[in-house]
Structure 1
């Protein structure tokens, strides 16, 4: 565990707040611009402007261009907010220095559809709590970073249809008395990422867990991987995060394990700035193609390559919902 801790801590120490580059890992220029099949389709009724009853329902797909797509094409590259510290999802392979993972594979599919090349991407590594701000400030065109779709976020950014189903779960050392999201958390120090749905869940029902920051102890962190480091160093007793991310962390460190069962159902979506409807529709069209093909779809191939070893038993992507 000490060796795993050292490796993880070293990786966290080299994280850059801004990462620019194509899929090969080389710089691709700056990007501070102002604007950046084959399965059942679930239909949803349009929601009123002041209500949110089905946040996963997105705009219908379209392959047409529009003002946002035109700006991206003129710039010649897609600026994407990603994570480079989530093993299996978005991480920098130490052997190749290439960004890889399930989320990165989807980024490449979107870039290829819009720009004709999966390498015309500028990657920006952004913390969990800065995803919405990065979109609103125009620092990125889209965010593909295990971002859960919910009503509160849907007021701030626009989401594609869901591309993955996850749930909150507890991660703790294998020998821990913690058995899941229950009373075994009483008095235990729990780490979460700032601005995450995990923190919101604990705030709503903590089972006596100690999860808030104090002047002497920081239990909320900008990046989820920092929670694993704190767990390895004995600074916290458990982590609450998406089971999809927790499974990747358990794969990094065999001394920790997922506890209990997921206690929420959440869906990841590609996020963009409110009002960029043409881009949302284009991404939804990409996702139609990405899901198509059954067991041989690009989605299933990416799942088998990146996630199946740690998240077993998934047979298909979530069905899209449209409004």
Structure 2
């Protein structure tokens, strides 16, 4: 009985040691690295492709990381779904989030932002050969798709086209498929997201190019970290000045004819420093 008890105690100690060892290994694997939250499912912005990550947000995040002294192999990419972004920052799961993350007063109650690094505008995606929709005011009687929970369709309905027929899909990729198939006449969300979908369609879809809102994309960071915000803002400013920002836009929206709204872009990154 005594030997059995000793064996059980030894086994328990070994198990705890193994758990501690694994935890230590996990901590060591992230030591000296930067953890960045991005989207994995937004073509043109943040997209996981064959084990690699591509898109404008990815390019911005990579540039910032390099400016801060991290090489590409020191970046740990973490998927950051929209509903989880604040919690990921508050819990310390990531160091920053670059994921079409609009700066709002409501969000600033729990997290801080650096940037903005881009100003998007709500726009419309239509089929390449459709010239009947030149703006949101042409949507009366048309079938419009947006992602479930998005406020984009409500904006169109309230401000421009009260008789629009709305269809909701789990994501904008599904909306693009419905558009290509002829199930809907247009898709609405931020213009750069639509440009990414248009690029992925290989010329079958196009962005109308008449943005009617402004969405200021920021880099999400933990609440109150003003010094980190300043470093990120300096990186964004350098990215704009040396031409890398413009190249990243062009490379991630090639073939779509998309150009950011020049009235607001490139923006002045001053958020979060005060």
Structures share fold, TM-score greater than 0.5: yes
Higher radius of gyration, 1 or 2: 2
Aligned to 1:76: 32
Residue 249 of structure 2: which of 303, 308, 318 is its match? 303
User: 1: distance between equivalents of 2:221 and 2:64?
Assistant: 13
| Runs (5+) with no aligned partner, structure 1 | 1-28, 34-70, 212-217
- 8 Å contact 1:109–1:118 — kept in the other structure? no
Provide the TM-score with structure 2 as the length reference. Answer: 0.73
User: 2: distance between equivalents of 1:303 and 1:72?
Assistant: 35
Q: Indicate yes or no: 2:193 matched with 1:236.
A: no
* SS at 2:61 equivalent: helix
* SS at 1:105 equivalent: helix
Q: Indicate yes or no: 2:236 matched with 1:283.
A: no
**Residues 90-113 of structure 1: CA distance to partner in whole angstroms, max 9, x if unpaired?**
22345xx42122211121122223
Aligned to 1:162: 116
The offset of 1:233, in angstroms, is 4.0
Residue 120 of structure 1: which of 70, 74, 81 is its match? 74
- The worse-fitting range, judged by mean Cα deviation, of 72-81 and 136-145 is 72-81
- The worse-fitting range, judged by mean Cα deviation, of 131-140 and 159-168 is 131-140
- 8 Å contact 2:44–2:197 — kept in the other structure? no
Q: Indicate yes or no: 2:134 matched with 1:179.
A: yes
Aligned to 1:210: 165
User: 2: distance between equivalents of 1:175 and 1:308?
Assistant: 20
Aligned to 1:272: 221
In proportion to residue count, which structure has more helix? 2
The offset of 1:268, in angstroms, is 1.5
* SS at 2:197 equivalent: helix
Aligned to 1:109: 63
The offset of 1:170, in angstroms, is 1.0
Q: Indicate yes or no: 2:183 matched with 1:247.
A: no
Provide the TM-score with structure 1 as the length reference. Answer: 0.63
The offset of 1:195, in angstroms, is 5.3
Kindly tell me the number of residue pairs found equivalent between the two proteins. 243
User: 1: distance between equivalents of 2:180 and 2:247?
Assistant: 32
Residue 175 of structure 2: which of 224, 227, 236 is its match? 227
- 8 Å contact 2:117–2:218 — kept in the other structure? yes
* SS at 2:165 equivalent: coil
**Residues 218-269 of structure 1: CA distance to partner in whole angstroms, max 9, x if unpaired?**
6052x43232123334443321111111122122223322236111123211
* SS at 2:221 equivalent: strand
Q: Which has the higher contact order (CA 8 A, sep 6+)?
A: 1
* SS at 1:172 equivalent: strand
Residue 134 of structure 1: which of 66, 75, 88 is its match? 88
* SS at 1:219 equivalent: strand
| Runs (5+) with no aligned partner, structure 2 | 1-21
User: 2: distance between equivalents of 1:260 and 1:107?
Assistant: 26
